[in-house]
Amino acid sequence: MKLYYDDDVNTNVLADKTIAVIGYGSQGRGQALNMHDSGLDVVVGLREGGKSWEKAKEDGLNVMTVEEAAKKADIIHILIPDEIQKDVFETQIKDNLEPGNTISFSHGYNIHFNRIRVPEDINVTMIAPKGPGSKVRETYLDGFGIPGLIAIEQDATGNAFDIASEMAKAVGLTRAGVVETTFREETETDLFGEQAVLCGGLTALIKAGFETLVEAGYQPEMAYFETCHEMKLIVDLIYEKGFGNMWHDVSNTAEFGGLTRRDRVITKEAKENMKEILKEIQNGTFSTEFAVDADTSYPRLYTQRRLESEEEIETVGKRLRTACGLEKEE
């Protein structure tokens, strides 16, 4: 594994380049402001009259339509949701490209699954912060940064890596370290992590534990504290120094019980199911399902979202968070 830091970056390639950040959500705002504060020429491409338009202007950035930004820029950094990137690229960006331009992403989804096809005379690069846009901005302002990834899918100019690495430095990623990867590796591992562990797997585990305690007659509030509230405390310990740090900080009772019982929760069958999830990512099954749902106004997603909001753990959790001052009452 090769990690790239500030001193590894050639900082001469972007001096006369304009970077268009398309989108001004969490990542768009964080990355655009960091690059701007690092001295790069940044414009923001947005839908005129949208909610982000005035916000970006208030932040002191040069704002224009997506078409205008794409035409003006040498590098177009696309940070809008995955499901709308293809349409925006085809209708507002593609016709404004010139040979030698760079198309940049922070997630390889649309390139890896061939939803976006970039002309051969255009660079295709990626810089991907391993954290939310708010943290990208917060850590930059604190004088540090968060780790990130860099990947080159298409090097039309011969210096695509230099372009991407200088962008990563301007965002603050090389302060912490940037790992070189590929669009395929980043996309497939990212989707798997979200589905099987970080978002899907974790919420299913918490919900199953909560329901087990409630069904056994324990107070829902006690069940919530034990299976959900304390999750952050444990994850923070693992984040800081790994599993060993977490086991060191919990009681011997917790360590013995956890180490001797965990394989009965995450069984060999669960791991086999994870392998199936990974196969569905690799062979395009998931991307097809997601595209169909997005193209039909998200009937599956909105149904799942509604059902999740009606879960007992959600109502109990909201009540407790409000009572403990962790969440403001609406």
36 is catalytic: no
pTM above 0.85? yes
Residue 228, pLDDT above cutoff 90: yes
What's the distance, CA 163 to chain centroid?
A: 21
The C-alpha atoms of residue 259 and residue 263 are separated, in whole angstroms, by 8
- The 10s digit of each residue's pLDDT in 189-205 is 999 999 999 999 999 99
| Binding-site residue ranges for substrate | 251
Residue 330, pLDDT score: 65
CA distance readout (Å), 41 to 26, 66, 73, 192, 327: 20, 16, 9, 35, 39
CA distance readout (Å), 113 to 63, 248, 285: 30, 43, 11
Residue 104, pLDDT above cutoff 80: yes
Mean pLDDT of 258-263: 97
| Binding-site residue ranges for NADP(+) | 24-27, 47, 52, 133
Domains of the chain: 3-181 (3.40.50.720), 198-266+297-324 (no CATH)
Neighbours of 199 (CB within 10 A): 11
DSSP state of 43: E
DSSP state of 87: H
What number of CA atoms fall less than 13 Å from residue 153's CA on the CB side? Answer: 28
| Binding-site residue ranges | 24-27, 47, 52, 133, 190, 194, 226, 230, 251
- The 10s digit of each residue's pLDDT in 307-318 is 999 999 999 999
Q: Which of 36, 77, 107, 112 is catalytic?
A: 107
The model's confidence at residue 327, banded by pLDDT at 50, 70 and 90, is confident
Q: At 97, phi and psi to the nearest 5?
A: -80, 150
The residues near 271 (Cβ < 8 Å, ≥ 6 apart) are: none
- The 10s digit of each residue's pLDDT in 163-219 is 999 999 999 999 999 999 999 999 999 999 999 999 999 999 999 999 999 999 999
